[in-house]
A and B are shown apart, each in its own frame.
Chain A
């Protein structure tokens, strides 16, 4: 990368994790200012380009009661697009509309398979999900990270650094953490099985209590741990 701007854009577009040189620059006043400016630029771009609706494809969604609260799932004709932690139905539908440019339709029939699998998972009767995922719109880098997380079996955990290594980006733990933090399909894509170095539990979009609960359910964490 020729300039810090190129490296910063690469990081924000998910093309490459931040190098140590970029991290140092981002810690300076100029770096902080540019990071904020580029983030504002991309947020504005989202509203300029991302908003015109074109009738949109439909996605089908449904609520799923679970021991970690009422989840929502959404699937397109191609595959599962979202699993969400507890929130209001309205907020979930709005986030689908906004982030995917789709028309959400409530349907038990079209989501029956994944709902069934999630119930079995929470009942301890299923450890592997067998569903099509629809990751259109997910960047190639994030897709690689998510697929690496899928390869971690139930009952095991790996570190962010290990995922970075597996996708050929050693030193990219931070970018991996960011990509996992934006996992659109948690639980099914088991980002909860990725933890910080030294056995610390790390972060989780659904809150650390839920991460611990999922890991206990899978037997990767002792009861009470």
Chain B
């Protein structure tokens, strides 16, 4: 058992920036991501004393953050469309060639309709550099399932571009 000392607090806090970025990517809303991040770290600090010393703290934090993000997404399922349409279009779709804009539009739709666990797995692999063992530790299941989730997600996004 690890005691909630200054060292374990530091162990948790050092991951705050990347967890905040992850929540931003999952929730597409800065305010929601910051709120969710506060919740995640509150929970983490309460629970860190019960964590085994050899635990992968990073994967553990991603797991708490994923659960929080999926809860937020469920509770705002209807409002989500509004947020995504306004914010993300404004951020991503107004630069680049017509073809790139069309790609971004198609991929954004496809990302929004991915099953939440596939989306989480893809974001963790592509943007946070987690390996499949860590993704499995974050989302549950085994490495094979984690990899299958990521590859399925990529194939669905590719299919959204249609024939090229």
Binding site for B on A (CB under 8 A): 5-6, 9, 13, 15, 33-34, 36-38, 40-45, 47-57, 78, 101, 135-140, 143
Q: Is there a chain A Cβ closer than 8 Å to B92's Cβ?
A: yes
* A–B pairs, 16, beta carbons within 8 Å: A6-B151, A13-B150, A38-B158, A40-B103, A44-B106, A45-B111, A45-B157, A47-B100, A47-B104, A48-B107, A51-B91, A52-B25, A52-B30, A54-B34, A137-B127, A137-B128
Which one, B33, B107, B150, B158, contacts A54 given CB within 8 A? B33
Choose the segment among B15-23, B40-48, B59-67, B71-79 that binds chain A (4+ C-beta atoms closer than 8 Å): B15-23
Which one, A6, A34, A41, A143, contacts B107 given CB within 8 A? A41
Report Cα–Cα, A135/B18, bound state, in Å: 12
Report Cα–Cα, A95/B153, bound state, in Å: 27
Q: Nearest Cβ in chain A — how far from B138, in angstroms?
A: 15
Say whether chain B's binding surface is mostly helix, strand, loop, or mixed. Answer: helix
Cβ-Cβ contact count across A and B, 8 Å cutoff: 102
| Among B107, B122, B127: residue with most chain A CB under 10 A | B107
Question: Could you tell me how many residues of chain B have their Cβ less than 8 Å away from some Cβ of chain A?
Answer: 43
Contact across chains for B34 and A41 when beta carbons are under 8 A apart: no
Q: Is there a chain A Cβ closer than 8 Å to B55's Cβ?
A: no
B28 CB contacts on chain A under 8 angstroms:
52
Given contacts A48-B111, A51-B92, are A41 and B154 in contact (CB under 8 A)? yes
B158 CB contacts on chain A under 8 angstroms:
34, 37-38, 41
Which one, A51, A54, A143, contacts B20 given CB within 8 A? A54
Q: Is there a chain A Cβ closer than 8 Å to B125's Cβ?
A: yes
Contact across chains for A48 and B92 when beta carbons are under 8 A apart: yes
Q: Is there a chain A Cβ closer than 8 Å to B14's Cβ?
A: yes
Report Cα–Cα, A49/B33, bound state, in Å: 14
Contact across chains for B21 and A101 when beta carbons are under 8 A apart: yes
B29 CB contacts on chain A under 8 angstroms:
52
Report Cα–Cα, A138/B96, bound state, in Å: 25
